[in-house]
Structure 1
Amino acid sequence: MIRTFGNNLLVFIKKWIRKIDWRCVAAVLIAFGVTRLMVLVITYFSMAQLSVPSAEKFWRYNPRNLIADGLLRWDTGWYLGIARFGYDLKSTAFFPLYPLLIRLASLVTGNIWTSGLWISNGAFLIALFYFYALARQEFDSETAGRAVFYLAAAPAAFFFSTVYSESIFVLFVVACFYYARNGKWIPAALAGALASATRLPGILVTVFIFFEALWQQDIRFIPKPWRLRAQAALLLMDLKQLPKARKGILACLFSTSGLIAYMVFLYQKFGTPFAFLHAETDWNRKINLDWFIQLVQNIIAMHKPSGNILSGQVGSIYYLMDTFALVILIPLVVIVFLKFRPSFGWYTFLALLMPLVSSNPVSMRRFALGLIPCTLLLAVWGKRPWVDRLILGISLPLQAYLLVLFSHWLFAG
């Protein structure tokens, strides 16, 4: 009987192994391993060889742990503060899911400072598997492999290994995309709810789910070629088809529950469900009706020369990098909107627009990590060897440079 059980178990294991997509495993582990090793090595040697601001000016974790100390910077303090002590009005700009996970992980690790590092890196590894599966569904395995490596090699991708919410945000966004793309509305709704509890742009997954639900029921709304009579006929036909998309629409509505739950908490604690919007003003982010005019004015003001422009004395070189990121992202978003499915296009367009309506282009390097369809587009273009070399030749050195800035308390996004 024991021999029979052993044979059955062996057969089961062999079948399970045969079902594994080893190309996916290899692509993800190579992308994760190469780029995270680069993050560890650069953080260690930069911290060891370059002077770090004193603890009197900036807080430090543990100067004897060079890697962990170098990866705990800037917004890390806000997330750890929420995890340890809860919310005050100013910290409400930071959504609750990531600090909650840090607190829960600290019960296992016993160290609330480094718990975020484990969560971020673990979530990023899982996100790469989801991203490969999503890209493989849209394109071939070679494109999917490039997509995960491009995401891991992106200039701001070192944030996936810091105590920032980027890792779990991208994880839940990509998981939501994958499940919605396959018509699995319950897990898509759950992933969407978690995304909306992680960061404000997470609410945009509702747009993705909604358009994906319509698309899968052949609801288009816009005929080709466009004619008024054809438009009216198509609209009537699509409205009749709308009930067939009800599961997706319900998933779309449920995905807002993460944000709604946070707003209920804020109302009970501070008397206003929009405390997080008020807190954003501390970071010079405020929604204005004339946001575009103010955005242009702010960009011009940020780059007024203060000396010799060739020497790098431009208002702030950090603002210049964010402006360059915006200039690169705009055409990518336009192409995604025109070439990809409407769900990808609308999500990407709104995800780019959301930080800009505050008239503040700062941190666009980091926000670009959430524009997942843009990475897919680059992966498609990367089938040309010279494009692939160009993307990696720019992304990896820039990531190394920004990581050195970050670890030494210089603004990197």
Structure 2
Amino acid sequence: MLVIVPLLPVPPGGVAAKFGWDVFFSWDSNFYEAIATFGYNYSLPGKQLPSVAFFPLFPLVTRAFMSVGLPFKVAGTLVNNLAFLGALIVLYAWMNERHGKQKARWVTAVLAWCPLSLFGTVIYSEGLYLLFSTATLKAFDKQQYGWTALWGAIATAARPTGIALIPALLLVSLWQRRGVKAYIASLAAGGGLFLWSLYCQITMGDALAFLHAQKAWRPSLGFDWLRWLKMIMQIVVGTTNWKYGYIKDPWHPLLFAIIIGSASLLWYFRNKLDATKVNYGFACLGLFLWLLAGDPLTNVVMIFGGIYLLWRLRRELSLITVVYGFCGIGMLLASGGTISLNRLSYGIVSLAIACGVLLARHPFWGRSVMGFFAILLASFAVRFAQDQWVA
């Protein structure tokens, strides 16, 4: 992003990337800069988007770095990168204790190389949330309830998805009959959310201002089946055909049918073919499907593929990992929109854990997925640096 992207031509609808810290600053970074510099605004009427929708931890920590003389873009980049590095270290330590070194390496590799890990390096809050949510889950899994309360309170001040930690901790405490300390720690983990709500009440007269502000992006709560149908149809028939309501571009549905048909035949004759050829065949078909469908496919796979993995590995993973994963995905599905769902689901560390544990069993698919991740991550980095939409 610093060296290569500024040398590339300007894409349609993008901007020319310049050498320097600007390549890490785009989209939501503008909100974080305004909050860290001037404070919050809450103005739903009109065109101004309310910054109160963004939780306070990242702007606060960035402001602390700015107090020693660092510009916002430098401070924000350092905060997110250092926090993301910390999240990788905490995750590896937890997985190494629970699953052993091999699975710990794969889990950490998934979190680090997933294309959405871009948001652990640019001026966003993903790094901080991943660090403290992972630390919360690790402490709870080891029945360290003081640390659970502390890390949980910090995590719930980082991102809205931190709210999913509270019911997850309570449900596991109830299911495993952990006792009063676990219940107290579970409730105390919502301390960051409580303080943020109190701040909103005092300064804006609305304790749920951060929730009401989401209307600027998501008009209503609930499962938005129309947008999900749109994404699925974009995968099957293509964006152009969905837009016009008839088959204007016959190549997309034809190519989709060929890919699905080839995959079905490959699966049917898998026992009669060499295992290596079958693996490479499915890998190539998966790549072709992504080239055809693009971002709608990644959105659907991140959410529904994550649900499948959590259910399939439910007996191998810790209960808190599985329950938090389902609570987090359930919260996203009920949020009333599909904007940035792949990025938001990446922040649910349970999905990276499930994917890494599965890939540890299948080295071929692990290497294939890592290679695909690397290609997509480079693509996302270029797009973000040129101010194009990523997630």
Please give the TM-score of this superposition, normalised by the length of structure 2: 0.79
1:80 maps to: 33
Question: Which of 169, 173, 192 is the matching residue for 1:258?
Answer: 192
Is 1:386 the counterpart of 2:364? The answer is yes
CA RMSD of aligned residues (A): 2.7
1:71 maps to: 24
Question: Which of 268, 271, 279 is the matching residue for 2:202?
Answer: 268
Give a deviation string over 1:19-54, Cα, whole Å, max 9, x none: xxxxxxxxxxxxxxxxxxxxxxx4421222232789
1:50 match: secondary structure: coil
Give a deviation string over 1:371-409, Cα, whole Å, max 9, x none: 222222222222322121122022111111111111111
81-90 vs 353-362, which moves further: 353-362
1:190 match: secondary structure: helix
Cα distance change of structure 1 residues 169 and 381 upon mapping to structure 2, 3 Å threshold: same
200-209 vs 181-190, which moves further: 200-209
Give a deviation string over 1:96-140, Cα, whole Å, max 9, x none: 111011111101243122101010111111111110111112201
Gaps of 5+ in 1: 1-41, 220-243
Cα distance change of structure 1 residues 321 and 374 upon mapping to structure 2, 3 Å threshold: closer
What is the distance in 2 between the residues matched to 1:43 and 1:322?
28
Q: Is the 8 A contact 1:336 1:344 kept in 2?
A: no
Is 1:245 the counterpart of 2:179? The answer is yes
2:79 maps to: 119
Cα distance change of structure 1 residues 285 and 309 upon mapping to structure 2, 3 Å threshold: farther
Q: Superposition pairs for residues 43-54 of structure 1, below 5 Å?
A: 43-51=2-10
2:281 maps to: none
What is the distance in 1 between the residues matched to 2:335 and 2:158?
19
Is 1:194 the counterpart of 2:154? The answer is yes
2:312 maps to: 335
Q: Superposition pairs for residues 270-289 of structure 1, below 5 Å?
A: 270-284=204-218, 286-288=220-222
Question: Which of 381, 385, 390 is the matching residue for 1:407?
Answer: 385
* Structure 1 residue 71, shift from structure 2 partner: 1.1
Q: Is the 8 A contact 1:348 1:371 kept in 2?
A: yes
What is the distance in 1 between the residues matched to 2:298 and 2:188?
37
Q: What residue identity is the alignment partner of 1:77?
A: N
Q: Percentage identity across aligned positions? A: 25
1:236 maps to: none
Q: Which has the higher Rg, Structure 1 or Structure 2? A: 1
Q: Is the 8 A contact 1:132 1:145 kept in 2?
A: yes
1:108 match: secondary structure: coil
Give a deviation string over 1:171-195, Cα, whole Å, max 9, x none: 0011001111111111111110011
1:354 maps to: 331
Q: What residue identity is the alignment partner of 2:18?
A: P
* Structure 1 residue 350, shift from structure 2 partner: 1.4
What is the distance in 2 between the residues matched to 1:358 and 1:208?
17
Cα distance change of structure 1 residues 179 and 246 upon mapping to structure 2, 3 Å threshold: same
What is the distance in 2 between the residues matched to 1:100 and 1:309?
52
44-53 vs 114-123, which moves further: 44-53
Give a deviation string over 1:212-256, Cα, whole Å, max 9, x none: 4456xx53xxxxxxxxxxxxxxxxxxxxxxxx6111111111111
What is the distance in 2 between the residues matched to 1:292 and 1:347?
22
42-51 vs 107-116, which moves further: 42-51
1:156 match: secondary structure: helix
What is the distance in 1 between the residues matched to 2:98 and 2:172?
14
Q: Is the 8 A contact 2:3 2:19 kept in 1?
A: no
1:363 maps to: 340
Q: Is the 8 A contact 1:197 1:259 kept in 2?
A: yes
Q: Is the 8 A contact 1:192 1:203 kept in 2?
A: no
Cα distance change of structure 1 residues 182 and 212 upon mapping to structure 2, 3 Å threshold: farther
Q: Is the 8 A contact 2:57 2:154 kept in 1?
A: yes
Give a deviation string over 1:116-173, Cα, whole Å, max 9, x none: 1010111111111110111112201111112111110001101100110000000001
Q: Superposition pairs for residues 176-255 of structure 1, below 5 Å?
A: 176-214=136-174, 218-219=176-177, 245-255=179-189
Cα distance change of structure 1 residues 298 and 262 upon mapping to structure 2, 3 Å threshold: farther
Q: With a CA cutoff of 8 Å and minimum separation of 6, indicate the structure with the bigger relative contact order.
A: 2
81-90 vs 262-271, which moves further: 262-271
Q: Is the 8 A contact 2:22 2:73 kept in 1?
A: no
Gaps of 5+ in 2: 43-49, 254-290
Q: Is the 8 A contact 1:181 1:212 kept in 2?
A: no
* Structure 1 residue 337, shift from structure 2 partner: 4.1
Give a deviation string over 1:286-345, Cα, whole Å, max 9, x none: 313xx2544544546764155537479x9x954454234334323123324454333222
Cα distance change of structure 1 residues 409 and 320 upon mapping to structure 2, 3 Å threshold: farther
2:135 maps to: 175
What is the distance in 1 between the residues matched to 2:192 and 2:83?
18
Cα distance change of structure 1 residues 150 and 317 upon mapping to structure 2, 3 Å threshold: closer
Matched residues, number: 337
* Structure 1 residue 64, shift from structure 2 partner: 4.1
What is the distance in 1 between the residues matched to 2:11 and 2:28?
18
What is the distance in 2 between the residues matched to 1:359 and 1:179?
32
What is the distance in 1 between the residues matched to 2:375 and 2:106?
17
